[in-house]
Amino acid sequence: MVKTLHSRHNKVFLDKLRKLRESRNLRQADLALLLGRSQGSVSYVESGQTRLDIIGLRDWLEALDYSFLRFLRELNAELRQADALGPRAQSRRSRKRTSRLIQAGGISASLTGQSPE
C-alpha cells in the first residue's frame, strides 16, 4: 500500500487546512486556543507530522466555523484536479532505484513506462 503522508493529495489537504485558518486571520496559537490544544499540535497537523482523524477534522472545521460537508466537497474537487495533472514526477533517487530494479530484472520495464537503460 502506498504511504499517503507525503502524497500530492495530502499536500492539497494540508494546504487547504492552512489556507482556511489564514483566511480567518488566525494564527496557529489562536486556532489552538479554540481547539483546546497547543500551538505545536496545530503546527504538527499543518506540516503533516501528525494526522487528523475524521472526528478531529470535524472539530477543526467547527472551530473555524466552516461547514464539514462543504470542506469535503471542495477537497474532493481539488483532489480530482490534482489527479488530472497526471502522475507525480519521480525524484532522481526514485528513478535510479527503479532503473536498478529494471536492470536486475526485478521490475518489468513495460510496467514502469520506462525504457531499459
Q: Which of 117 and 51 is assigned the larger pLDDT?
A: 51
How far apart, in whole angstroms, are the C-alpha atoms of residue 76 and residue 88?
A: 18
Summarize pLDDT for 59-99 with one digit per residue, the tens: 999 999 999 999 999 999 999 998 888 765 445 555 566 66
Summarize pLDDT for 17-44 with one digit per residue, the tens: 999 999 999 999 999 999 999 999 999 9
Encoded amino acid at 22, one letter: E
Give the end-to-end CA distance of the chain in Å, rounded to a whole number: 28
pTM: 0.68
pLDDT at site 116 = 46
pLDDT at site 90 = 47
How far apart, in whole angstroms, are the C-alpha atoms of residue 1 and residue 72?
A: 23
Q: What angle do CA 43, 78, 83 make, to 5 degrees?
A: 110
Helix axis angle for 8-23 and 39-47, nearest 10°, is 140
- What average pLDDT does the segment 44-62 reach? 96
Instruction: Give the domain ranges of the chain.
Output: 8-86, 90-117
Q: Look at the domain 8-86 and name its fold.
A: 434 Repressor (Amino-terminal Domain) (1.10.260)
